[in-house]
Structure 1
Amino acid sequence: MSDTQREPVRAIVASSAPARTKPSSYPEPFFSRMSGREKRPLGDLFGLSNFGVNLTTLAPGGESALLHRHTRQDEFVYILEGEPTLVTDEGEMVLSAGMCAGFPARGTAHQLVNRSEKDVVYLEIGDRTAGDEGEYPVDDIKAVLGPDGRWMFTHKDGRPY
């Protein structure tokens, strides 16, 4: 079979998927805050275009993202290992393996933080609705999903980073 006629990927061991080479698309000073996060994009391996799936590991002290909410996209997380703290604009809660949480668009701002001494591993699932924006209630940043599927970041007043 030639390279152009490769059999599509049907199943893998999730932890063997390649990690993203760039840990975050946030600009500094936020980029470095994501250094304790490793994402393995699983949905992309299978050619999924309607929703994304990541196998994510947070090292101790790691953050899943800045505290945020989406204007159009729903998100769902399922904890596989460890005890992350779910931080929302309504409070905090420690999660454990087998727990899950969902965040509808325009809902509660959220993030996971690993305040434990062991890695946290979870699945994150989100749709890829065009025209989405990320709102960040604590940090001076705004995100807009471009037509090319890449996030563009500005200060809340519109100035570029």
Structure 2
Amino acid sequence: MPRLRLDDWQPHPAVANRLTGQDDGPHATLALGDQAGLVQFGVHLERLPPGSRSSHRHWHETEDEFVLVLSGELVLVEDVETVLRAGDAAAWAAGAPLAHCLENRAAGDATFLVVGARAAAGTVHYPDHGLVMRHDETGRRFFRADGSPVDHAAAPSATDGTKPPARR
């Protein structure tokens, strides 16, 4: 396998999510797992400028997730907040209902590595917004916490502030 390219960052503009109205701010990603042709787990580098969040707070029913801060400073937002600096790591076991995201409240950019499963199907909970997303080979479907479906025409896409699940 040749050396992976670390200069092909994909920018993502700040856009409010159509379902929640939340704008996580701009960010950039580098899909290292895709470059390498990995099929069992995904690896992403992410860069968050000041004021941006990694995602809506969420947790996965069937996927483990791991992050390693490479540069800068981030705030891990769970039920409590924890400052993470370069060299710090955090992880969440599949099924543990601990919603999380990372926020850059510092003056400079922060970069971090994300590793997670590439599950063909899964469920992601967004408790701050009362939403649940289920994904499989047919696509993504959103539901309210009570189980009622959300209109798919209003469902967010990968270009409007959410990141595709199971690709990390």
In the alignment of these two chains, the number of paired residues is 149
- Give the drift of 1:10: 2.0
Distance 1:127 1:29 in 2: 25
Unpaired stretches in structure 1, ≥5 consecutive residues: 1-8
Q: Does 1:12 align with 2:1?
A: no
Distance 1:132 1:61 in 2: 29
Q: Does 1:147 align with 2:137?
A: yes
| Cα RMSD (Å) | 2.4
Tell me which moved more, 29-38 or 96-105: 29-38
Q: Which has the higher contact order (CA 8 A, sep 6+)?
A: 2
- Which of 23, 44, 69 is the matching residue for 1:33? 23
Distance 1:142 1:98 in 2: 32
Unpaired stretches in structure 2, ≥5 consecutive residues: 155-168
Greater share of strand residues, 1 or 2? 2
Which runs of at least 4 in structure 1 moved beyond 2 Å after TM superposition? 29-32, 150-157
Distance 2:140 2:25 in 1: 18
Summarize the Cα distance change of 1:99–1:119 in structure 2 as closer, same or farther, 3 Å threshold: same
- Which of 65, 70, 76 is the matching residue for 1:80? 70
Which residue number in structure 2 is paired with residue 101 of structure 1?
A: 90
TM-score, normalised to structure 1, is 0.81
TM-score, normalised to structure 2, is 0.78
Distance 1:64 1:34 in 2: 7
Distance 2:81 2:108 in 1: 19
Equivalent pairs: percent with the same residue?
31
Summarize the Cα distance change of 1:48–1:94 in structure 2 as closer, same or farther, 3 Å threshold: same
- Give the drift of 1:109: 1.3
What amino acid sits opposite 2:110 in the alignment? V
